[in-house]
Chains A and B, each alone.
Chain A
Amino acid sequence: MEKQLAPPPGALAGLRICDFCGQLAGAGATKWLAAFGAEVIRIEDPVREGRWDILRGIGPYVDERRGLEFGGGYNNHNTGKLGVTINVRTERGKEMLTELIRQSDCVTENFAAGVLERWGFGYEQLKAIKPDIIYVSNCGFGHVGPYSSFKTWGPIVQAVSGLTFSSGLPDQPPAGWGYSYMDHTGGYYMVMAVMLALLHRQRTGEGQWVDLACTEAALTLHGPTLLDWTVNGRPSRREGQPHANRNTSPPMAPHGIYACAGDDAWVAIACRGDADWARLSSAIGDSWTDQPAYASLEGRLANQDALDGAISEWTASRDKFEVQRRLRRASVPCSAVQIPGERVDHDPDTEGLWPTVTHTAMGEVRVDGLPVRMSRTPWRIETGAPCLGEHNEAVFGRLLDLSVAEVAQLRAEGVV
């Protein structure tokens, strides 16, 4: 909306993040901070070649090359960051990390609870190094509580927090989420936690340790269902539930995903009320829609199985995008179930969402962008994930005053 007055400033320019985050739940968070101009220094272990982050070496791959610089997911989640290696088992490595922390605003990590503390960098030590440091830890069950030692990854978080259960069809096992929804979303809460703590520090001068548990963040995503339990005593584990493609709050009918012509082709249709139903009926243009049983929401809800069957018959011979065009023209909520290639390459509403970055080893690769347009401080995603220790010379030179020869010496000694 606003014309750029000057080269776009980074909203977070000037901030430095001492970052141990990996996988997606952590790395996704610091990707946001880097895209808005924070200097994110990702620290990896030279001994294990950064393989704590399992995405480093695994596919998808851009070509036939394999190895720890070619993981497509790793590149996707670590754009715009600087990469250094420090062996924190060594005294010299501990000294270097201490100095980096002293010059940082925030320390971020998503290790299992207690790892950083065992290295001698728990919150008390961080605070001793820099009194107003912000420390955000992100793990499955958090650092406090009976399960704090339990290990998780996305699907386990989703299982224990109710998200897997609530995604399914009647008389079937849980369908769950076909991806780590809570790794993405845990990362979003981590961004909020970092930003809230930064705002608090800007206003009070005070740092803090934020204990983020992905399972707990996930549990906030079932609000009305939980209140139905605590207020009315109604459990969601009951006959006929979950029925995730339907909607009870608010109730809608029809509301579902219907098979279309073609292999595994589907379309979602929802009627928010009688007006949507009247428009859908006109668009279908068949006399079955005039049945009195379907005239009211109550009637459509009471006869939803039959209604879904009739709509499926109508969609079955039609192309999913043709149904989408026709119903959108009629102002009925409708969307084809898009496959990745359709929504990435042929959808006008994702234009600009997939920036191309340059990765030192992989070359040019497209990645996930950010779904927000900020008029004054746009995000920038231009460089790919760092190779292992790619910025050792640059970062240690600038911040720790080490010469290229000194860094080479440290490398030979196994410190970096």
Chain B
Amino acid sequence: MTALTGICVIELASERIAFAGKLLADMGADVILVEPPGGDPARGYPPFLDDQPGPDRSLWWWHYHTSKRGVVIDLESAEGRAQLQALVAKADILLESEPDGRLAALALDYEDLRQIHEDLIFVSVTPFGRASPNAAAPVTDLTILAGAGSAWSCGYDDHALPPVRGGGNQGFHTGCHFAVMSALTALFYRLTSGEGQFIDVSLHAASNVTTEAASYSWLVARQTVQRQTGRHAAAVATQGTQMLCQDGRWVNTGVPPRSPAEFGFILGWLRELGLEDQFPDAIFLEIGAAMPKPITYDLIGVDAEATAIFIAGREALALIAANVAAYDFFVGFQRRGVAVGVIYSPEEAFEDEHFRARGFQTEVTHADLGRTFRYPGAPYQLPASPWRISRPAPKLGEHDAELLQ
């Protein structure tokens, strides 16, 4: 028994909601993916197994459709609509991101389907929400993140460079997170009330409320944040936090050192590396280490000694970074309680010992290929109802025989 055992979800295939279906399927829901004849276009998304294209070889597809079963249904035909209705009659949740007006035209929208299943939870994830004047406007992850505020906050100090859309389809992911949060909330409500409902999720709205201070600085104080390299966009410019290490990799140095213990440790590491002679301002680190309490931000730029200590701390960090590998910088400071981070590429993070020790790497066997591959694992660990990839992504029409009448 897992949290979602016995919960059946019908997912009308779309790249925009694939991740929502995966989050439910990997927690034990029976997710049935409905594709049109010929398959969903995302089967053609690279990268491919061994770089050879093919409908069952897309690694995009493999990732986003784990633990689901798949059927092909032609919703344009009366027979297909009857097949979908039969599936919906036994389902708990329907998840869709169809083009504006399509389901209504097919008599498969919420008001239609609730006639055959009154307590259905119908989750609609659309670019701007069902009632939007722009409901028919096409979008991609890029245009969502551009319109919703993410891109404005991401990029470089040099504003001749464009704002940046963060990688990995995070605009779609954010919409999917809200789709799952609301579906689970509605499921809980249905357990106590017996009632289903219609849920209207807007991708644009989801990313709009996922911009931290950019939105509330405007809401509260009418301040406009400005993008800065590798750190929070802010209404007032802040100091850089990324430093380049000896091995050509970057680290994020976090909140600048301010406490006596931090200055003491930095000085100690400089000495250990034999760098004290190259750093004439080491004296300020010594003064910082002997302070009775941390420097407060209001003193910086005002009090000459506090400012000199603070600047020396920043410069010493840069000197240490230039002389050690990024990983050693990260672990060296963290072991002494200083919150810094190595800037890993995704695969470097995946191979890191911490995530290995937590069991993040998950082996999935593709019986048809006779091969086993390592997949990304659980986002959270629920010991009583464990996350699990129960099967690889479905091949085209793989479960037609067992699921369609």
Question: Which residue from A181, A199, A255 sits with its C-beta under 8 Å from B188?
Answer: A199
Contact B137 A328 (CB under 8 A): yes
A174, B161: Cα distance in complex, Å: 13
Q: Check A11–B186 contact: CB distance below 8 A.
A: yes
A360 CB-CB contact with B under 8 Å: no
Please provide the chain B residues from 1 to 16 with a CB less than 8 Å away from any CB of chain A in the complex: 1-5
Question: What residue of chain B has the Cβ atom nearest to residue A267's Cβ?
Answer: B146
Q: In the complex the two chains form, what is the Cα distance from A247 to B42 in whole Å?
A: 14
Most interface-central of B145, B201, B215, B233 (chain A CB within 10 A):
B215
- With A12-B189, A153-B254 known as contacts, the answer to whether A219 contacts B349 (CB < 8 A) is yes
**B residues in contact with A178, CB < 8 Å:** 153-155, 214, 225, 227-228, 231-233
Which chain B residues (187-206) contact chain A, with CB distance < 8 Å?
187-189, 191-193, 195-202, 204-206
Name which of A39-47, A81-89, A228-236, A408-416 contacts chain B: A228-236
Does B357 belong to the interface (CB within 8 Å)?
A: yes
Q: Is A395 on the interface with B (CB-CB < 8 A)?
A: no
Q: Are A373 and B4 in contact (CB under 8 A)?
A: no
With A159-B342, A193-B382, A338-B146 as given contacts, are A146 and B221 in contact (CB-CB < 8 Å)?
no
B41-72: contact bitstring with A at CB < 8 Å (1 yes, 0 no)? 11011110111000000011011100000000
Smallest distance from the beta carbon of B134 to chain A beta carbons, Å?
6
A333 and B143 in contact, given A159-B342, A184-B212, A189-B380 (Cβ under 8 angstroms):
yes
Q: Do A145 and B358 touch (CB < 8 A)?
A: yes
Complex formed: what's the CA distance from A277 to B42 in Å? Answer: 19
Q: Are B379 and A217 in contact (CB under 8 A)?
A: yes
Cβ contacts under 8 Å, A156 to chain B: 252, 254, 339-341
Say whether A373 contacts B376, CB under 8 Å: no
In the assembled complex, A391 has its CB within 8 A of some CB on chain B:
no
Query: Do A146 and B353 form a contact, CB below 8 Å, given A169-B161, A212-B381, A227-B373?
Result: yes
Given contacts A12-B185, A159-B251, A338-B146, contact A179 B204 (CB under 8 A): no
Of A95-103, A237-245, A281-289, A397-405, the segment with at least 4 beta carbons within 8 Å of chain B is A237-245
Q: Is A1 touching B198 in the complex (CB atoms < 8 A)? A: yes
Q: At the interface, yes or no: B209 with Cβ under 8 Å from chain A?
A: yes
Excluding A166-B346, A179-B214, 13 further A-B contacts by CB distance (< 8 Å) are A11-B188, A60-B216, A159-B341, A164-B230, A174-B230, A180-B232, A181-B166, A195-B184, A221-B170, A258-B162, A268-B143, A337-B152, A371-B201
Q: Which 4 A-B pairs have the closest CB atoms?
A: A371-B205, A162-B346, A223-B63, A178-B153
User: Would you mind naming 30 contact pairs between A and B with Cβ atoms under 8 Å apart?
Assistant: A1-B110, A1-B130, A12-B185, A153-B254, A156-B254, A156-B340, A159-B251, A160-B341, A173-B230, A173-B244, A175-B164, A176-B343, A177-B154, A178-B153, A184-B212, A189-B177, A197-B385, A210-B382, A216-B378, A219-B349, A219-B376, A223-B376, A225-B346, A227-B59, A230-B375, A235-B345, A249-B45, A268-B142, A335-B143, A349-B204
